Amino acid sequence: EVQAAALAERGEDITPAQDRGVLKIIKRPGSEDESPMIGDKVYVHYKGKLANGKKFDSSRDRNEPFVFSLGKGQVIKAWDIGVATMKKGEICYLLCKPEYAYGSAGSAPKIPSNATLFFEASNASELAREDLFEDGGIIRRIKRKGEGYSNPNEGATVEIHLEGFCGGTRFDCKDVKFVVGEGEDHDIPIGIDKALEKMQRGEQCILYLGPRYGFGEAGKPKYGIQANAELVYEVTLKSFEKAKESWEMDTKEKLEQAAIVKEKGTMYFKEGKYLQAVIQYGKIVSWLEMEYGLSEKESKASDSFLLAAFLNLAMCYLKLREYTKAVECCDKALGLDQDNEKGLYRRGEARLLMNEFELAKCDFQKVLEVNPQNKAAKSQISVCQKKTKEHNERDRRIYANMFTKFAERDAK
């Protein structure tokens, strides 16, 4: 087994600055020619020792390879540099100076200050593709990496080149400039908007979109795309300009923008583009929810926007089947206007769909208190009662034996 001394003697210096900060010796070369790329998810088994030979960590103790995204600063510098040089299947030794590891601060409780670290690592990656939102919805393969660390934020203006493929046939090819979150206006699916927030200037990549992030159930007749089709896009982010941060805008600006954004949100909602609508309404919340020092007039306007935003967000989340979020939005709406009919009704709907029948019933009853004419609420109450009964039956069957005895006893 190679020791730290051997590395110090004949290890290869793999640092860009050539300062011997990270030295490497290959124990067993890898199988493929390709090294991992920035952003790729890599799986590594490793064992780490301090200069005195004491082991401080090992992935084998956890029976799981360690997973991280390469080149993103998630790990110590020595690893971002070192793992990038490891081909699939390769096993190597790394000797890392503190400047490329935990420096003078160390890492309590195991790593002392100014510690040189010794690793034996093996690249156990099967996949080289990056799942952007960890749900299989958008997979990215970077063809050419971009520069810098900055990404477009929501609301940024981007200039891109885009080609769209479905089932192997190209259906779209264009250069386009638009605002992130509003790609829909240019027949661009929401997956592209979301992916752009993780891209860098100059990056060219291939995106595999699942239906939820594509054109969804509506499909895109204009391009001949069926419902729930899987799409492949090649996107180049030529340039972008970030949107203003919330804290850089003053209240007047926020209120002006809120009106514009609310209209946009409503437009998307009417077209059934709920993910896009959520983005627009969400802006109102992030601008105004924590805003202080408003005049009375501004305060009224702000509350009115927030109320509308929360109610509409709740509606969107109901359509998207994210019920917990729908309830949260209703709670906030009711915080502003406690007898709001829509807020109560929508919360009732969400709770019903989460099987919280008692709570749902309370909400619907409150709706009737506010507006006795609301027929929908009446019928929802009976639905709640029906479902509660079904659930009680189920519980009763579980303790059948017990209850029979009790029942018999009580009867005497």
Partner 1 sequence: MAVDELQAIIQRCQILEEADFKGEDFNLFQVAGQKCLETGYAAQLLEVIQNEKNKVIVKNMGWNLISPLVRCIFMYKHEDDKREHCLKILDQLAQLCNPKELFLSLLEQIEQTSGEQVCQTVMLLLQPLQTVLLKLQNKKAYSVGLSLAMIMNQLTPLPVPYTKQQIQEDKFGLCQCCNAVVDFAKPFVNEIVKNTEESSEYNDMELKEELLKFCMKSLKYPLLTAQLEQIEGIEEHPFRHFATEIIVSAIKINHKLIPLVFLHRKSRGPQWENQDFADIERKNSADSLACLSYLMFVQHFGIDCFPVVFSPSYLLQCNMTHIEVLLKRTEESMLSKGLDLFESCLLRMEDDGLLHQYLEFRDFINVPQDLVKIMTLCPIEHLRKKSLNILQLFIDKFDTEGKYTLFRCLLKTSNHAGVEGYIIKNIKDQIHLSLTKACDNTWFTGLHLISLLDLVLLLPEGAETDLLQNSDRIMASLNLLRYLVITDCESDNRTGVWTMLAKIEQNFLKPLHVGLNMSKAHYEAEIKSKKENRREAHSSNTVCSVTVSGEKVPAMTTEMQLQVLHSALFTFDLIESVLARVEELIELKIKGVMDDNS
**Positions marked active-site:** 46, 56-57, 76, 102, 119
Residues 69-88 that bind partner 1 (CB under 8 A): 73-77, 79
Residues 160 and 237 sit within 8 Å (Cβ to Cβ): yes
Q: Does position 402 bind partner 1 by CB under 8 A?
A: yes
Could you give phi then psi for residue 142, rounded to 5 degrees?
A: -80, 125
Nearer to partner 1, 115 or 166 (CB): 115
| Binding residue (CB under 8 A) for partner 1 from 54, 394, 397, 409 | 409
Degrees, nearest 5: CA angle 176-180-186: 40
Work out how close the CB of 175 gets to partner 1 at its nearest, in angstroms, rounded to a whole number.
27
Q: Does position 51 bind partner 1 by CB under 8 A?
A: no
Q: Does position 109 bind partner 1 by CB under 8 A?
A: yes
- How buried is residue 401: exposed, middle or buried, by Cβ count under 10 Å (0-12/13-18/19+)? exposed
Contacts of 27 (CB under 8 A, 6+ apart): 2, 91, 92, 93, 120
Which of these segments, 12-20, 179-187, 242-250, 311-319, binds partner 1 (CB under 8 A)?
Answer: 242-250
Q: Does position 19 bind partner 1 by CB under 8 A?
A: no
Report the alpha-carbon distance of residue 51 to residue 7 in Å, rounded.
Answer: 12
Contacts of 122 (CB under 8 A, 6+ apart): 44, 45, 46, 89, 90, 91, 92
Q: Does position 16 bind partner 1 by CB under 8 A?
A: no
Q: Does position 404 bind partner 1 by CB under 8 A?
A: no
| Binding residue (CB under 8 A) for partner 1 from 108, 147, 295, 372 | 108
Which of these segments, 147-155, 185-193, 268-276, 294-302, binds partner 1 (CB under 8 A)?
Answer: 147-155
Report the alpha-carbon distance of residue 163 to residue 175 in Å, rounded.
Answer: 9
Work out how close the CB of 148 gets to partner 1 at its nearest, in angstroms, rounded to a whole number.
9
Count of C-beta atoms within a 10 Å radius of residue 53: 9
Q: Does position 412 bind partner 1 by CB under 8 A?
A: yes
Q: Does position 53 bind partner 1 by CB under 8 A?
A: no
